[in-house]
Structure 1
């Protein structure tokens, strides 16, 4: 058995000015990532009635649009109010032959030589294949004729973005085996600018979805590598807070997106507006350090030492550094390279309650992440006139949910149960959208406000659960299974996330159909999370008391030794129970407790070697 040697963690400490600066800079990477995910709300707004119609043939000259629509498009009866409206998706088959009855041609030679009048509704109706758009905003819809039967292609563009997120995360994990996290971040930033600008300027729909997918791959590389750096340089409750609040800047990006979109009247300009700010991140990249643990694990001790010296200098702990820092780092590097290979996928299914927990947490991840992104995109169906304020409210709801999730993580012992009940109740509130009066019965503003209230309560509950899933999923397994469990749950969730845009496309059957589907999924997710149980994330520590001075000295020495061992993969030694048996002499204990340094002492048998004594503390 090997000891958990963590000289890096002892030097950096759990938190300091150096960590604060690094974390804030990495947080900024979430903003362009959220812009690229949610920009479809503004680049493909649902067209209003009359903003498009079937394009008249070129041979007809320049006809009157109103008269052309009357003669070419049939009428359909609306289901809800039973009134007739123009069907802009279909056209009369003989519309061109009878168009001459509705136009005044300056040159008689231009008039079609057909004299019979149209047969009105007795004519055959065929789908229109080419449209003319009169919208004031140039969008993806107007660029690629994504209306009527081609409306589903709007969801396809979002599908390819989410596919890029899935493949980008997998690719980032492979790149991190060979390239440092800092370099992977820089590569993602540079390629995101390039691909993002091309996404808004290509001529064909196929190239648009291709570059949208590549942009998502680049964004996934940025925040995956950044998350690894943050987890490596923080510890204790600070790591928990950083991991949870990482999503806050995603919500901030969603709240900022309406303001960015309001300055542009073209979708291609909007893609430029959300791509070029990453140049600022490239400039700030020089102050983002690399992961010292990544360096240590690959034997690059001197590079890791330089990073740690910068940390100590900024945190004001340089004078507390040990004189044998090189030996300690080399020992940690050797220990990391001698470590056994990571556990496989099947290992996480072994253990007490393992099957139930793993199944429930995988189901919860897949359900909640689909609802989380699907409900954000679904605000397009509530009202195009209120799109900007609705997007801001959705981002604010996500932010409040994340704060509530952090509270449950830090303060409660039954976080899984409470968040499950919250989602079940919020899902029932989302069902109440069917009780909201129609716009004809109340003003349109009141109708949209009530629908948003019914949806955003569920949005807040889902954000709460996702913050808990992000931070606490690894608590369900032992230390050697944490990495594979995290990778498995995220990949599983992102695979099912691919279906979220198509659930939103069911809005063609009714405005509240997608919201009902998402509420049902949230309720099922609440049942899954309620079945999960794990210990408190940060247990309340109590001081150890003893009746005799001798035993008190022994317990104090055991605690001091325990405080020097931290799991390298990012979890604290909260489950450690010190042995009551003395493992070293009192002279050694006296050396450990001297205030000479807050770092481990020089190499000593049984503590800083790769083996431990049989009577040592259980690890």
Structure 2
């Protein structure tokens, strides 16, 4: 494409328009954090036992303690069994008292929660005993929704645009997020959570792409990372919100309703000018660019605007484009691996918040708080050291912390939690780097397709993370060994990727070498006098946008 990079510079790298755009992209992240982890607080551990009210028919005057003594067996510690009961008999009360009951069976009439806790998913849908696995299954179903969203919204965004996909995803999140609070059955709850997960994927991919394609080169990291900081803030708010609202239906409404206000605000978001140009919609791109320039109080030179013409008609990007060309294939495969292992360690730690031995609300608050410095620090680290070095260092470090946790005794919950927080810090920094790095590596025509594919890889890891935790019943070290070793391997692979710091975004899939290699070749060629343009040397940015 000719001229789009220079025109965007004339419009303004980070003027009032870009600031408002980034601000509007922050609010969905609060709700995304809520939906991602809210179920951890909706399934609290509460005491329970089988409903044995059958004995009231023959002993209506029994006290609660007498009823439980006669109808419930005790475990090795002398406490009442939570998932078994004595089989009902048609004896009279005196015979039961004299001889006692011996045959046991699983709870046949449901469960009783003697502490009368506030309504939760556990108490309302009886997610205990044989049904307790439904909680983990539900979490996996939500992750499946994230996977489906990545599969659907990524390619669709490259075809119909970033703006419509953002609006569709926000609308679905509002509709089904609020609908969850009124579901009558747990299976309906899981289905609605799946749709919400898909909407979260759509928002998490479309909004960063829209922001990145509007801001200048040096502002790309902060445009993405600010939204990630807002996601971390959402985790902290979730800890406070869930602590104050123990009724799961009211908590769901409180976490979903604020997005309604955003739906009416996103109508003002313009489409990406870069995407419009790649689709040959030049006149629309000109109008949007002029409007943005007026907001930023800049003027686009008419001659520069007239140069905004696609040199050749760009073909729509597809998933196959990511694997046809050698340089894109290498980038795609390595980023798929990076997202997979990054998501594995991130969710492996995040979803284990209830098992570190400390208060769940304080642990969640710490997990959210530690992400803010991790993500803000990325803004500076990415500019100082570049994308490749940052990714290749922080990702293995997150895995090494998990490996250290294996050696901590179980009776040291504070030490385990501190190490988990450090691991979450590294995993969060790596995740922010992955978003920025991926968006810069993939060309505009397949950027969302590539991001969607990477997100799919991450979602597969998110689905597997709860299942890997179940391996702890065989040995407590197995889950952390997997969560720790995988990121080390993924981080080492990042060394093979090109650097994208201070390079312009690539629009098409033409070319045969990565951007960084082109820059090096262009530099050496210009020194030998082989690359001449206006003024004797071809412009550096034009060279970087010619090839990927």
Judged with a 3 Å threshold, the aligned counterparts in structure 2 of structure 1 residues 223 and 13 are, in CA distance, closer, same or farther, namely: same
SS at match of 2:75: strand
Shift of 1:217: 2.0
Shift of 1:364: 3.4
C-alpha separation between the residues in 2 aligned to 1:221 and 1:267?
A: 25
Alignment of 1:2-13 (within 5 A): 6=5, 8-13=7-12
| Aligned counterpart, 1:131 | 111
Shift of 1:341: 5.2
| Aligned counterpart, 1:568 | 507
RMSD of aligned Cα (Å): 3.7
2:340 equivalent to 1:377: no
Of 63, 86, 110, which aligns to 1:92? 86
| Aligned counterpart, 1:392 | 365
Alignment of 1:137-216 (within 5 A): 137-177=118-158, 179-216=160-197
SS at match of 1:126: strand
SS at match of 1:434: coil
| Aligned counterpart, 2:208 | 227
Does structure 2 conserve the Cα–Cα contact (< 8 Å) formed by 1:365 and 1:493? yes
Shift of 1:231: 1.9
2:390 equivalent to 1:411: no
Q: What is the TM-score with the length of structure 2 in the denominator?
A: 0.84
| Aligned counterpart, 1:604 | none
| Aligned counterpart, 2:74 | 75
Of 489, 498, 506, which aligns to 1:527? 489
C-alpha separation between the residues in 1 aligned to 2:139 and 2:337?
A: 22
Shift of 1:429: 3.0
Of 478, 490, 494, which aligns to 2:459? 494
Does structure 1 conserve the Cα–Cα contact (< 8 Å) formed by 2:50 and 2:111? yes
C-alpha separation between the residues in 1 aligned to 2:356 and 2:83?
A: 22
Shift of 1:194: 1.8
Shift of 1:569: 6.5
Does structure 2 conserve the Cα–Cα contact (< 8 Å) formed by 1:68 and 1:99? no
SS at match of 1:411: helix
Deviation digits for residues 442-485 of structure 1 (CA, Å, limit 9, x no counterpart): xxxxx4x3332132122222222222322224677889886655
Unpaired stretches in structure 2, ≥5 consecutive residues: none
2:433 equivalent to 1:468: yes
SS at match of 2:85: strand
| Aligned counterpart, 2:285 | 304
Does structure 2 conserve the Cα–Cα contact (< 8 Å) formed by 1:9 and 1:566? no
Shift of 1:155: 0.8
Structure showing greater radius of gyration is 1
Judged with a 3 Å threshold, the aligned counterparts in structure 2 of structure 1 residues 99 and 374 are, in CA distance, closer, same or farther, namely: farther
Return 84-93 or 200-209, whichever deviates more. Answer: 84-93
| Aligned counterpart, 1:322 | 301
Shift of 1:259: 1.9
Q: Which has the higher helix share?
A: 2
C-alpha separation between the residues in 2 aligned to 1:62 and 1:277?
A: 51
C-alpha separation between the residues in 2 aligned to 1:302 and 1:143?
A: 56
Judged with a 3 Å threshold, the aligned counterparts in structure 2 of structure 1 residues 457 and 186 are, in CA distance, closer, same or farther, namely: same
Q: What is the TM-score with the length of structure 1 in the denominator?
A: 0.75
Alignment of 1:458-607 (within 5 A): 458-473=423-438, 485-505=450-470, 509=473, 513=476, 517-533=479-495, 534-538=497-501, 567-568=506-507, 575-576=518-519, 577=522, 579=526, 580-581=529-530, 583=532
C-alpha separation between the residues in 2 aligned to 1:454 and 1:618?
A: 43
Does structure 1 conserve the Cα–Cα contact (< 8 Å) formed by 2:7 and 2:305? no
Unpaired stretches in structure 1, ≥5 consecutive residues: 78-82, 102-113, 438-446, 540-562, 594-599, 601-606
Shift of 1:352: 7.7
| Aligned counterpart, 1:56 | 53
Judged with a 3 Å threshold, the aligned counterparts in structure 2 of structure 1 residues 17 and 477 are, in CA distance, closer, same or farther, namely: closer
| Aligned counterpart, 1:26 | 25
Does structure 1 conserve the Cα–Cα contact (< 8 Å) formed by 2:335 and 2:438? yes
Return 187-196 or 298-307, whichever deviates more. Answer: 298-307
Shift of 1:281: 1.0
| Aligned counterpart, 2:341 | 367
| Aligned counterpart, 1:40 | 39
| Aligned counterpart, 1:401 | 374
C-alpha separation between the residues in 1 aligned to 2:350 and 2:492?
A: 24
Judged with a 3 Å threshold, the aligned counterparts in structure 2 of structure 1 residues 477 and 175 are, in CA distance, closer, same or farther, namely: closer
Judged with a 3 Å threshold, the aligned counterparts in structure 2 of structure 1 residues 140 and 584 are, in CA distance, closer, same or farther, namely: closer
Shift of 1:618: 8.3
C-alpha separation between the residues in 2 aligned to 1:351 and 1:141?
A: 51
